[in-house]
Amino acid sequence: MIKIFIDPGHGGSDPGAVGNGLQEKELVLKIAKRLAEKLEEYDGVEVRLTRTDDTFISLSNRAKMANDWGAHYYLSIHINAGGGEGYEDFIFNGNVSSATESKQSLMNEEVVEATGFNNRGKKQANFAVLRQTNMPAILTENGFIDNASDANKLKDDKFLDKIAEGHVNAIAKMFGLKSGSPSNGSNAPSKPRPSKPKNSNGSPNKASGTIATIQRTLNSRYRLSISVDNLFGPQTKGALVKGLQTELNRQFNRGLAVDGVFGPKTRRACVTVRQGARGNITWILQAVLHCKGTSPGAIDGIFGAKTRSAVRTFQRQNNLQVDGIAGPQTFQMLFK
């Protein structure tokens, strides 16, 4: 299994480069998520992200997460600033392997081909995430946020998809990845085909409703295959727990077994989620509130007034402290 570690730069209190109404931290997260989704369509590859929401993580922790996981390749995604134009990438300016150099060449070639960016070349630098990682590592700079031409491209979601596609094509060639489609006899990596959640009979499940949407999101986001039947049963409950465990591991390095069981270790690992929070953990909180019959309004990963009201209602109904803050006790009762 090839392990690819994707690091969307900046986050939280660190917006990165800013210009033309754009923030680097938001753009790179979009690219990273697209990239992960595309990579996961290939066989024999596992993907992990430094962050999946607007969270600050130190440079040393980013490298440590990749090292501890035993990643085979580290990819740090950035947007440039400073008056230039186009794409460039960096590897460590110290002692690097020939594999690192050849992988950089592939990345440079594929991203430029996919995007049509002006190619500023292959470069080296003493960046912390390149210096402190134990595996071949690269940092890509995908356009200049303070350049009007590049910024206009970066405002287009379809162009961000091209950036992700270029990175994926390079990684597929680096490691000889193949998609799950039947072999056509070629040695070139074949393009991935989107997969659809299926029910127990193997046919596409077309159930509609909010719970069905939650089920489809769980399948897509966490590579699960639960039935999409718009019913909140043990399978969906377990999938929500797996999602929570995955996010706690990704964002807070909890080291939990992703087994879908809300036991003492998962309870202790839970973080406190309150109004103003954003991201996948908030989305999971909203999803399980809805499934338990207490509507938080939109299930959008944004902890607003309606979500706080739903948390308070649930806490009141279950004899918990009514404070509108989802901590370990509230999560435990939600998954009871």
Residues carrying an active site annotation: 141
Q: Is the dihedral of CA 256, 35, 25, 14 positive or negative?
A: positive
- DSSP character string of 102-132: HHHHHHHHHHHHHH---EEEEEEE--HHHHS
279, 16, 2, 4: which is closest to 142 by C-alpha? 16
Q: Residue 109's CB: how many other CB atoms inside 10 A?
A: 16
Residues 127 and 78: their CA atoms lie apart, in Å, by 12
Q: Classify residue 187 as left (phi > 0), alpha (psi -120 to 50) or beta.
A: alpha
126, 134 Cβ separation under 8 angstroms: no
User: Angle at which helices 234-252 and 210-222 pack, to 10 degrees?
Assistant: 50
DSSP-derived pairing of the beta strands 137-144 and 73-80: parallel
Residues 6+ apart with CB under 8 A from 203: none
Extract the tokens encoding 135: 């595996």
